[in-house]
Amino acid sequence: MQLNGQVAAITGGASGLGEGTVREFIAAGAKVAIWDVQEDKGKALAEETGALFCSCDVTSEEAVRAAMAATVEGLGAAPRILVNCAGTGIGVKTTSRGEPHPLDQFQRIININLIGTFNCIRLAATDMVGLEPLAEGERGVIINTASVAAYDGQIGQAAYSASKGGIVGMTLPIARDLSDKGVRVCTIAPGIFETPLLGGLPDDVRQSLAVSVPFPKKLGQPAEFAQLARQIVENVMLNGETIRLDGAIRMAPR
């Protein structure tokens, strides 16, 4: 599927990996809807790029349905492409100083990262399968964002790793669910990327993270994530797979 002229919804599109994907897809001629809770950033990016901003909490069925309706109204069609970038993380040990990991914090990360991703998939896919097929019988493409933490979770990442591992685990069965409808599903598992999650770290810590990457010895950039997302959209044989985008890093325990 070529991006030019297609409607794409990008969750978490107001910043980080999502913002990079918005910019890449707009440059390729796609009509893009930014689904995000960050209204100020989302509206500013939409104004700059010509995208459509839709306020959207991915954990809410009502909010996602409203974002979908606003996308159809504003861009003229339901998205054929969904890129799930919305997510967050925490660093809390399973038990520390005599206190267990707060259950509500664990549940919050699972709810946003994993359930929020599936919420958008199930609702967007239901509209995608009703679209007219393109070349190769293709109706849509869904791209999710996991993390190398799904495989190499560090100390304090139980909640985050569980949420991202769930995304990896559901990629193939969802691809199989949708295969007879012409909707492909892939997941990208980034390594250490320049995102708001790293934005508050001191420069020396960021440099230390960069040199820990075997090659290239740098933090990944949102544009590099977006480039892979575009390749997934455009290569019809990519389906049911999780792709590590990490410079060959394998995370140490801490």
SS3 231: helix
Q: Give yes or no for a contact between 247 and 215, defined as CB atoms under 8 angstroms apart.
A: yes
> Which token pair is 48?
């700059």
How far apart CA 20 and CA 83 sit, in angstroms, is: 11
Q: Is 151 a catalytic residue?
A: no
How far apart CA 228 and CA 202 sit, in angstroms, is: 28
> With 0-12 CB in 10 A as exposed, 13-18 as middle and 19+ as buried, what is 191?
buried
Q: Tell the residue number behind the tokens 């480039």, with chain if given.
A: 227
Active-site residue, selected from the candidate residues 25, 53, 160, 193: 160
> In sequence order, which residues have a C-beta less than 8 Å from that of residue 128 and are 6 or more positions away?
78, 79, 80, 82, 139, 140, 142, 178, 181, 183
* DSSP state, residue 153: P
Helix, strand, coil percentages in the chain from 3-state DSSP, rounded to 5: 45, 20, 35
How far apart CA 96 and CA 75 sit, in angstroms, is: 49
Catalytic residues: 160
